[in-house]
Amino acid sequence: LSLLHVFSCFSAAGFCSAVCVEVPSETEAVQGTPMKLLCISCMKREEVTASTVVEWFYRPEGGKDEPIYEYRKTNHEFPSRFSGRLQWNGSKDMQDVSITVLNVTLNDSGIYTCNITREFEFEIHRPLFTSSRLIHLTVVEEAGEDFTSVISEIMMYILLVFLTLWLLIEMVYCYRKVSKAEEAAQENATDYLAIPSENKENCAVPVEE
């Protein structure tokens, strides 16, 4: 399970602010499922007005970049192999400018580029900043088993084996301890019975008249 976009709200003295975290996109998709291409840029601040332009490109293996999607105040989808299968998933503050490819196919494997151009509107000047994200996407026919889950299962089996062995060792130890206690009790009883009867009489305390 991956993090797509983390926004946390901290309240202190009636004050609340959003925290943006730049998280890389997943790079593997399963054929026939939707795939969110994550693109986050945390340069924008709430108190500063800024205009943002987002451009998405796709490059197949051995091919050239071709525009597939653009945000410039309004959303625009370019004619391409993705026509009708692209969905805007950006946030209102334009820090998350992700898109989703619906019903991905094996032919959708390739390199996706997210270009972000942000112009800040200060009173004195209007600085311009650009950033770019590359996503190397691979589309597979079936979902493979997650490596982390495999490791977790192996560790679980190892723990079960260890606990079983530890329980057996404890049982054997307790059994031997009880057996030795019983043997010692039997030896004491045998030694007492082996004392001659006359010695037993001598052991009696004489009573003076």
pLDDT, tens digit, 9 for 90 and up, residues 109-127? 999 999 999 988 877 888 8
- In the predicted structure, residue 12 carries a pLDDT above the cut 50: no
Give the model confidence (pLDDT) of 33-61 as tens digits: 999 999 998 875 665 788 899 999 999 98
Mean pLDDT for 10-24 is: 54
190: which residues sit within 8 A by CB, 6+ positions away? none
Higher pLDDT, residue 191 or 130: 130
Q: What percent of the chain has pLDDT over 90?
A: 39
- The confidence score (pLDDT) of residue 191 equals 66
Which pLDDT does position 36 carry in this prediction?
Answer: 95
pLDDT at 6: 38
Report the candidate in 137, 107, 120 with the shortest Cα–Cα distance to residue 38: 137
For residue 5, pLDDT over 80 is answered with no
Residue 147 has pLDDT above 60, yes or no: no
The answer to which of 68-82, 133-147, 191-205 has the lowest mean pLDDT is: 191-205
Reported as a single tens digit per residue, the pLDDT across 58-108 is 999 889 999 999 999 899 999 999 999 999 998 888 889 999 999 999 999
Task: Give the Cα separation of 39 and 132 in Å (integer).
Answer: 9
SS3 (DSSP) at 117: strand
Q: Take residue 78 and report the two structure tokens written for it.
A: 């370019």
17 pLDDT above the threshold of 50 = no
CA distances from 27 to 2, 75, 158 (A): 11, 24, 31
9 falls in which pLDDT band (50, 70, 90)?
very low
